[in-house]
Amino acid sequence: MSEETKYIRGELIYTIYTNQAEHFSIAKIKVLKTNEAFDEDELVVKGYFGEIFPGEAYVFYGTFVHHKKFGEQYHVDHYERYVPKTEEGLVSYLSSDLFPKIGKKTASRIVEALGDGAINKIIKEPDVLKDIKGLNDERRTILVERLKTYQGFDTIVVALQKVGIGLKLAQKIYQHYQDEAINILEENPYQYVFDIEGFGFHRADLIATDYGISLNHPSRIRAGILYILNESLNDGHVFLPVDKVKDKVNRLLEARRYGITDEMLTKELIEMAEEEYLVEENDRVYLPVSYYAEAGLTTQLKRISELEVEETVVEADLLKVVGEVEEEEHLTYGKVQYDAIKQALMTKVMILTGGPGTGKTTVIKGILKAYSELNDVSMKLQDYTKRSEFPYILTAPTGRAAKRITESTGLPAYTIHRLLGWDGHQHFEKTQDNPLEGKMIIIDEFSMVDVFLANQLFKAIPSTMQVLLVGDEDQLPSVGPGQVLSDLLHSQQVTQIKLDEVYRQKEGSKIITLAHRIKHDELTADDLIKASDFNFIPCQRHQLLHSIETIVTRAIARGFDIQDIQILAPMYKTDVGINEINTRIQSVVNPKRKGARELHTKDTVFRTGDKVIQLVNQPEDNVFNGDIGKITAIFWEKENVEGEDQVIVTFEDDDVTYTRQDLLNITHAYCISIHKSQGSEFPIVVMPVDRAYRRMLRKNLLYTAMTRAKQSLIICGDQSAFLEGVTTIDTNERYTTLIERLTGVFTDEDYREQLEEDLEEQALEGEEVSPFDFM
């Protein structure tokens, strides 16, 4: 690289804007090296790019331009992917978070002195480090011990860096494949796409090209088909129409450019269906896991529904019991609420829906007390010698939602994962052969349950048990595939009661009023007037972060704990996104200070006192995706027998230990995504709204965010963007066949028998289809 040629080498952080038709993008990079007169850590680059990936390094050639609103930017004339030499890869590895107190300069001295084989030399003879400047005895000991711990990983990291894969992704790859990582990459780089989260198809294409794999090879076509179907699960689809599969695959693979014909694509689809890599039915293409989950759910629902309720309900007895409940709770049930209690007691499977403030919780309490009185069973767990004799099971998709049920009913509640005894992989303790025990199960926040989890749950429900599904169909659908609650309601095959009358509105809740005005498409600017529990603070984008800081600071000054204040935003990677908000709020509420321990990773600083959120399920530690906790301690490697830096996070009553490698599983939670907030409630919700989020501003998303607030809701930002968002319907149709299958199974005995035969055949083949294979 000539010194005269001006360049900036940088790692892509995120893309701010992209025009796919013209391949024009604006992106933010972390500056790694440059001969330009520029000394900031980050920079915005813009230009005409092909596919560029977060976490990957590029060399950009261009000129600086000054934008009157956004400041200094780099206009890129051309660019190239940066491929480090072996020595650079070693320096990058040795100066990474894995080796504390070894900086870039010290790592460079080690590699300069010991060459490409530095790591093997150090492991064989640690004394070779004695002459390296900047390495005292303590650092030498730490380095040698860590190199021995990560032996094998080092060669994988350096090899992966040669194809542009950074350390964070390399850690995921090594955790999954261990020593086979490079062999698999060379044989079929497309395998990484399915096994490694964050490894994109186009990245695999670049590597395949490097290894001489032709871009019209059958393995690439098959990988493209599976990739499109996997991606469709992330968009909530259970299947895709075959024409849509072909269209998406053609665009992904640039079929015309690389000579991939329709005949070649059709041939692979047929063969993959024959080999059971996918299921094709009526011009619809499914992954087997989604086909059998949806089919299984419908047959399980039919199995439970067809056995009648054992006990009959005498109206006079029910009226007496409900009257007693009304006296105890100091309330009066409305007619629809009374009907809901009655139907739930008389029906095997029932759905109870309604918006906030309509009394769903009040009805649940009525159902439980009425069932106990009419069937002469106790609601006190201590009255039973065995837990399995307790007649009630209360469950919800998230820990926070389960906690809310416990608080409102006084009965124990569990997450669905914990209830089913999920081990975090493919095994569930509770199944059709080892079912749940009890008389009645109540599943709250059912709109969050995807088709995979619903199938697994209903498998474990015995035919004798009564089922009550509770949810709000106007909230966001599940993150995973399907729209189970909505499809069940629209199928008209399951008894349902909808609560319409708003009770909390009568108590003066502006939050509830706004939610119902959004629900009925009646919200106007006049509704956004300040109230005791609501405020809308108009501000422009450049003021937004400061406004959020001010709101949080004032709330804390008034005595609120940061755990009670939740900022909700729809996107991570914009200049007013979740990541940036977390950084700013951490600096305000938990800044660097004397005596406070902090642990640095490549992108994040974790401090004692930080609010964090769990990003993956860890059933072995009783902590699940979306659980929010607090960092209560940080221990250095010298302070524990494991000899590793450790972060201790307290979730409710459980302390969970994270090593450096585990820190990928948590992130700051001062601001979280609206999707992550589903099933939770917070005393104070702060909700920024800006046109930077425009593609996410939809009615159901904003409705979900607003209804998370219990005491106070503060919206700040662009009022016109908010008003447009609450009238914008999410037009992303989800492809599901649950309504069709429910209708078939409940009304056509031949259809039901055929579906059950398919499921039986699949089960006999011994192939365990996990609902979590694709999460």
Residues making up the binding site for ATP: 357-361
Q: Which two tokens stand for residue 320?
A: 């007496």
The CA–CA distances, whole Å, from 287 to 213, 231, 235, 326 equal 26, 11, 14, 50
Contact 418, 619 (CB under 8 A): yes
Q: Is 719 exposed, middle or buried (0-12, 13-18, 19+ CB in 10 A)?
A: middle
Choose among 289, 259, 261: nearest CA to 276: 289
CA distance 165 to 168: 8
Burial 70-101 (b: 16+ CB within 10 A, else e): eeebbebeebeebeeeeebbbbbbbbbbbbbe
Which segments of 597-677 are extended strands (E)? Answer: 598-600, 605-607, 611-614, 628-635, 646-651, 654-659, 666-668, 671-673
Number of Cα atoms under 13 Å in the Cβ half of residue 370 = 30
The four Cα atoms 285, 289, 291, 296 give a dihedral, to 10 degrees, of 180
CA distance 675 to 667: 15
CA distance 94 to 89: 9
Task: Tell me the pairing of strands 565-569 and 682-689.
Answer: parallel
CA angle (496 as vertex; 490, 501 as ends), nearest 5: 105
Reduced to 3 states, what is the DSSP secondary structure of residue 445? coil
Choose among 700, 706, 744, 704: nearest CA to 725: 700
Q: Which two tokens stand for residue 429?
A: 């303790």
Which segments of 513-574 are extended strands (E)? Answer: 534-538, 565-569
Binding residues: 357-361
**Residue 2, amino acid:** S
